[in-house]
Structure 1
Amino acid sequence: MKIDKFILSLFLAIMVAFLFPKGAGILHLKDITEIGIGLIFFFYGLKLSFKEVAQGLKNYKLHILTQLSTFLIFPVLLLLLKPFFSHLVGDSFWIGLFFLAALPSSVSSSVVMVSLAKGNVPSAIFNASISGLIGVFVTPIWIGMFVSQSGGMSLTDVFLKLIIQILLPLTLGLLLNSKIGHIAKKNSVKIAFFDKTIIVLIVYSSFSASLLAHMFKDISWLDLIYLFIIVFCLFWVLMGVVYFIANKLKLSVADRITAMFCGSKKSLVHGSAMVNIIFGNSISASLYLLPVMLYHITQIVILAVVANRLGKRTI
């Protein structure tokens, strides 16, 4: 397996934050990343193909299972395990884990992994795309019950920022899809690089703010190890639950693969954008983003191996 340069850049951003935490303020990265978030979702709207999405509409069992695992099964699992996780890693990391559970699925990597594993690609495109749209509304609703307790903004303020930074750019992109959408698809590699750059800047900015506020002074290496173990186990549990339900629903092998991959993945793009919006005024923002980063690394590595093995089967 090749070393993922994006994952390395995330760790590098954290290291730079430890060495130069004041750099984010000097460079006005908060303002830059807010503009960047709007552009990310504008490009997302431009690239969203209605024709590709429409191809998978008939497979309703797969769609329902995928969206329920993304926005219901995972969050409820975290709620049930709150006493155990809070005791093990603390309330701040538990909020980060719940934030992770409420996020939508990753679009590009879900489709790539499903294609590699010989799953149902049209349905993967449909579910990953729809998940991103649903998440704009569902994620803050789930988090809303914890925002006041975590020192974040009110739910009204969160939705107002979501409308300005995400919904309006996304809608504008969708409206312009038929006219200039082909330009976005043609430059998808450059847009992906831009998305990743903004995420890296958000990670650096969030960790810089937390370090300047000494948020990590009470966090031990053991806490971080526990957090990684939890994230690793959650991923496998969710994969197993989704596969079990898909098997009971008697879905085809290709559909089971799609349900597992799309239903278990979480979007670091949405996570980075929404942590800036929902927890933007909180010095604990990096603590909430850390589980999302760990989960992203876990899902990329594990699914790359699983997809490669499944792809070698004879259909």
Structure 2
Amino acid sequence: MRRPHLPAWLPLDAYILALLGTVGLAALFPARGTAATVADGASTAAVALLFFLYGARLSTREAFDGLRHWRLHLTVLAGTFLLFPLLGVAARALVPGVLTPPLYSGLLFLCLVPSTIQSSIAFTSIARGNVPAAICAGSFSSLAGILLTPLLAAGLLANDAGGFSPDSVLKIVLQLLLPFLLGQFLRRWVGGFLVRHRPVLGHVDRGSILLVVYAAFSAGMAAGIWHQVSVLRLGALVGVEAVLLAVMLLVTWYGAKRLGFGREDRIAIQFAGSKKSLAAGLPMASVLFGAQAGLAVLPLMLFHQMQLMVCAVLARRRAADPVAPEPAAEPVAEVSPPPQQPTGRAR
């Protein structure tokens, strides 16, 4: 299997540059009036398209083929949807001294987002880990996140995001779950087409997310939410996220060791269990937060860039680590044959 190649150093992900450019465009030329209505409608359609493509591309059969390694997958899911949310809830103690309530809402939402697939596979491969396990773990996380992220957000963000009305639940079903299920249903007919045109559809994915970001940040400009953020608060947010990432990297590595996993499995657990998906989180935030989505996705965008830079360095360090050889079998002492007993009379 050919290993994905990453640059020797990632000072800034190119897609993050595109996202920051989109944010700047929304700040200088926000959509207003009729343009805002059109941008909001286009963003809604883009979210539905994204989750349709996620459903059509995700092979549930291949994902569930990895059930034989269920302990590893449960460990990754526990890190993604249990430990991360617990740390996010604990960070509430930082409000309002360190984080403002809107920034904390974004940080907590970040902790509820599913893991990545592509970068988890790439970093696991570079570090000489269990790549098939990383593929299955990322797929399980994406499948679970379709349901668990909105449910966790409804329970944990009810007060921070202004409450989740029945209308919010309906939006989640119509814009996220229904297109995803439709994509899964049509996968047998459109899956081959999607595989053949993967590069083109990758641009569609990213272009759709840029549209969602533009609409969200335009709505934020119209609502005046950016007056709530200062450079000092942003610096504090970066520091908090650095601690969050460090804790998850340490817990997934040493926790997997305590659970008895081998080196290759521990690498897959660390990279799949410590990261968050920007591609899945941005569309979800636009549905869950509405006009507040621009500020809510800021922690996720910062964390995404941070995890790429840190994990790129860590993966290469793991690859350079000397792999302990399998213990050799102990030599068996040679035993001299017992002296032959005389048989009676000599010949």
TM-score by length of 1: 0.92
Secondary structure, aligned partner of 1:11: helix
Q: Is the 8 A contact 1:275 1:285 kept in 2?
A: yes
Hey, what's the Cα distance between the residues in 1 that align with 2:212 and 2:162?
A: 17
Secondary structure, aligned partner of 1:88: coil
Hey, what's the Cα distance between the residues in 2 that align with 1:151 and 1:139?
A: 14
1:23 Cα shift? 6.1
Hey, what's the Cα distance between the residues in 2 that align with 1:246 and 1:16?
A: 44
Secondary structure, aligned partner of 1:206: helix
1:124 Cα shift? 1.2
Q: Is the 8 A contact 1:46 1:181 kept in 2?
A: yes
Hey, what's the Cα distance between the residues in 2 that align with 1:103 and 1:65?
A: 16
2:16 aligned residue (1, 7, 26)? 7
1:179 Cα shift? 2.5
Q: Which moved more, 1:202-211 or 1:264-273?
A: 202-211
Secondary structure, aligned partner of 1:59: helix
Q: Is the 8 A contact 2:73 2:140 kept in 1?
A: no
Q: Which moved more, 1:203-212 or 1:257-266?
A: 203-212
Q: Is the 8 A contact 2:58 2:184 kept in 1?
A: yes
User: Counterpart of 1:76?
Assistant: 86
**1:17 aligned to 2:26?**
yes
**1:310 aligned to 2:318?**
yes
Hey, what's the Cα distance between the residues in 2 that align with 1:192 and 1:235?
A: 27
Q: Is the 8 A contact 1:140 1:155 kept in 2?
A: no
1:22 Cα shift? 2.9
Hey, what's the Cα distance between the residues in 1 that align with 2:161 and 2:178?
A: 26
Q: 1:265-286: per-residue Cα shift (whole Å, max 9, x none)?
A: 1111221111111112xx3221
Matched AA of 1:16? L
Secondary structure, aligned partner of 2:228: coil
Hey, what's the Cα distance between the residues in 1 that align with 2:309 and 2:32?
A: 31
User: Counterpart of 2:104?
Assistant: 94
Q: Is the 8 A contact 1:24 1:205 kept in 2?
A: no
Matched AA of 1:249? L
Q: 1:156-199: per-residue Cα shift (whole Å, max 9, x none)?
A: 33332222112221112112222221221222222222111122
**1:114 aligned to 2:119?**
no
Matched AA of 1:117? A
Secondary structure, aligned partner of 2:225: coil
Q: 1:223-249: per-residue Cα shift (whole Å, max 9, x none)?
A: 011111111221111111111210101
User: Counterpart of 2:184?
Assistant: 174
In the comparison of the two structures, how many residue pairs are matched?
A: 313
Matched AA of 1:8? L
User: Counterpart of 2:329?
Assistant: none
Hey, what's the Cα distance between the residues in 2 that align with 1:231 and 1:14?
A: 21
Hey, what's the Cα distance between the residues in 1 that align with 2:297 and 2:100?
A: 15
2:146 aligned residue (128, 133, 136)? 136
**1:207 aligned to 2:220?**
no
Q: 1:89-128: per-residue Cα shift (whole Å, max 9, x none)?
A: 1111111111000111112222222222222111111111
Bigger Rg, structure 1 or 2: 2
User: Counterpart of 1:244?
Assistant: 254
Hey, what's the Cα distance between the residues in 1 that align with 2:55 and 2:185?
A: 8
Q: Is the 8 A contact 2:105 2:157 kept in 1?
A: no
**1:298 aligned to 2:306?**
yes
1:294 Cα shift? 0.5
1:285 aligned residue (284, 293, 298)? 293
- With over 3 angstroms needed to count, the CA separation of the structure-2 counterparts of 1:177 and 1:22, relative to structure 1, is closer
1:45 Cα shift? 1.6
1:24 Cα shift? 9.0
Unaligned 5+ residue runs, structure 1? none
User: Counterpart of 1:183?
Assistant: 193
RMSD: 2.0
Secondary structure, aligned partner of 1:87: coil
User: Counterpart of 1:57?
Assistant: 67
